[in-house]
A and B are shown apart, each in its own frame.
Chain A
């Protein structure tokens, strides 16, 4: 009964957020605001991708921007050189970014924690260098220009609102997929690996397979965001997909609360809007941003929504007064 109640409330929350996201563009007349809303959605997708690797499986990945870039570049190159439609290049970009994730997942089997972070940091840098030194093919640091906007049923994709709704649809689908992962066998295995790798293997879970799959999925989702980004901005360069962006996405997941799926969404929304709000204090922007991160890590190291489940069950017990608070006087 209680589980149902919580699910219900999750559904209600989801519905409210979705309604706001859906109707918001109708009240927004300023194109720059719509632009920020699109960026928010892109970062929500990106943080969903990282949530699978970092939040659910605790694989410290510092090359998420490289997956993002892989999706963007594959889609843009196919569109520029072969003139393929966005709806063809999107799935190909997704698969390529997934393959990239798979390849980076392989060393993840040998390293853990900090070492994995350093390894992925290196991979991200290699990816950037390849883009910069790609000669005429990737046009090096100048980047790719003139990427076509998507076309569908004669809809006008130069209209930011139309683009917003397409990305919203993608974001919602991806969110629903990631949201349900912890409820599946697959997600349970990932969570078991996160909590105790050896103990997961003792349950007959093939740790290597699941870790690589987590990285692959993480890459695929970032690739989707990349493709949408490339065909939205219509210009991409290696500068967009550097280490800094990986850190930003990482911060979104950690600030929101890794492993909660909803947390990273909150983190992405806050950390995309915050720098925009602080635009008037240009010089102090990064300072305030950094301060927020430090303060957050001090007061809520598990993230804004971290440990939400425990809090709910605690409240539940409080509400049912005849049941004693079992946490009292217990060693943990």
Chain B
């Protein structure tokens, strides 16, 4: 579905991402884990067309999208839950959700998806007339995920959905992510600092360190990998 080959991204003289390759297959949940400044968010920015990569190719559904503008990538079915949630703070919850369906013309489908979102996150229904900015962090994250679902994504990207949230909230959001994947077979690319959680829900994972992928394996193997345990899971031997 999504295939990235030899991708490099530079900010001026600084290379944030160096020659990374990975892919997300049909129906898969793939996680990219790594510390602050490892280049996780930059990778997602390159995928979604916010920054242009300096080298390499990105292919989405067998079509090259390297350097394609963000709105075009979005219209192709790539849906993004940005870091920090990217809620429209001065618009109501309902308006936020409606923005997800901005480019959709299938009214029946939009209605069905809206019902699904309100079903998964009942709190959004209760808050429908409230401004996005007045929601709590967890509710905003739910809104961001709900808004992405309203896009009827063919592939879903999540940038640090656990950031700054209470553990129970994180858990319920990950439950929903798994459910989206299970129900519609939507492939998901998850970028996380919460390594344990990310590897728990994903099928495969990549470890990103200072702009390079140093490991890529099935999540189960990564969880048992000595180096991952030491560096990211705090397991002492």
Contact of A276 with B by CB under 8 A: no
B122-157 with Cβ < 8 A to chain A? 126-127, 129-137, 147, 151
B86-123 with Cβ < 8 A to chain A? 86-92, 95, 98-100, 102-103
Most chain B Cβ neighbours within 10 Å, of A192, A195, A200, A206: A195
Chain B proximity of A85: nearest CB distance (Å): 43
Is A332 a contact of B90 with CB atoms below 8 Å? no
Contact of A331 with B by CB under 8 A: yes
Is B102 a contact of A202 with CB atoms below 8 Å? no
Contact of B202 with A by CB under 8 A: no
| Alpha-carbon distance A207/B130, docked complex (angstroms) | 25
Contact of B66 with A by CB under 8 A: no
User: Which A-chain residue is minimally distant from B126 (CB atoms)?
Assistant: A326
Q: Of A194, A201, A326, A331, which contacts B90 at CB under 8 A? A: A194
Is B102 a contact of A196 with CB atoms below 8 Å? no
Is A195 a contact of B87 with CB atoms below 8 Å? yes
| Alpha-carbon distance A191/B147, docked complex (angstroms) | 15
User: Which A-chain residue is minimally distant from B70 (CB atoms)?
Assistant: A201
A259 surroundings in chain B (CB, below 8 A)? 90
Is B134 a contact of A202 with CB atoms below 8 Å? no
Evaluate whether A204 and B74 lie within 8 angstroms (CB atoms) in the complex, with A191-B91, A194-B90, A332-B136 already known.
yes
Q: List 29 A-B contacts (CB under 8 A).
A: A188-B99, A191-B88, A191-B90, A191-B91, A192-B88, A192-B91, A196-B88, A198-B50, A198-B70, A199-B87, A200-B88, A201-B74, A202-B74, A202-B79, A203-B74, A203-B100, A203-B102, A204-B75, A205-B71, A310-B131, A313-B130, A326-B127, A327-B134, A330-B135, A330-B136, A331-B137, A332-B133, A332-B134, A332-B135
Evaluate whether A201 and B88 lie within 8 angstroms (CB atoms) in the complex, with A192-B99, A310-B134 already known.
no
Is B86 a contact of A198 with CB atoms below 8 Å? yes
Is A198 a contact of B134 with CB atoms below 8 Å? no
Evaluate whether A206 and B88 lie within 8 angstroms (CB atoms) in the complex, with A188-B102, A198-B50, A331-B136 already known.
no
A206 surroundings in chain B (CB, below 8 A)? 69, 71
| Alpha-carbon distance A201/B126, docked complex (angstroms) | 27
B89 surroundings in chain A (CB, below 8 A)? 195-196
- For the residues of A in contact with B, the DSSP-based class is helix
Most chain A Cβ neighbours within 10 Å, of B72, B92, B99, B135: B99
Q: How many interface residues does B have (CB within 8 Å)?
A: 38
User: Which A-chain residue is minimally distant from B102 (CB atoms)?
Assistant: A203
Contact of B43 with A by CB under 8 A: no
Chain B proximity of A185: nearest CB distance (Å): 7
Chain A proximity of B150: nearest CB distance (Å): 9
A: interface residue count bin = 20 to 34
| Alpha-carbon distance A145/B129, docked complex (angstroms) | 54
Contact of B48 with A by CB under 8 A: yes
Binding site for A on B (CB under 8 A): 48-50, 69-72, 74-75, 79-80, 82, 86-92, 95, 98-100, 102-103, 126-127, 129-137, 147, 151
Chain B proximity of A222: nearest CB distance (Å): 24
Contact of A133 with B by CB under 8 A: no
B102 surroundings in chain A (CB, below 8 A)? 185, 188-189, 192, 203-205
Contact of A244 with B by CB under 8 A: no
| Alpha-carbon distance A309/B100, docked complex (angstroms) | 22
User: When A and B form their complex, which 8 residue pairs have the shortest distance between CB atoms, in order from nearest?
Assistant: A199-B86, A201-B70, A195-B88, A204-B74, A204-B103, A202-B80, A204-B75, A196-B86
| Alpha-carbon distance A191/B82, docked complex (angstroms) | 18
Is B71 a contact of A199 with CB atoms below 8 Å? no
User: Which A-chain residue is minimally distant from B131 (CB atoms)?
Assistant: A310
User: Which A-chain residue is minimally distant from B81 (CB atoms)?
Assistant: A202
Is A202 a contact of B136 with CB atoms below 8 Å? no
Chain A proximity of B199: nearest CB distance (Å): 26
| Alpha-carbon distance A109/B49, docked complex (angstroms) | 16
| Alpha-carbon distance A24/B90, docked complex (angstroms) | 36
Is A199 a contact of B88 with CB atoms below 8 Å? yes
Chain A proximity of B195: nearest CB distance (Å): 25
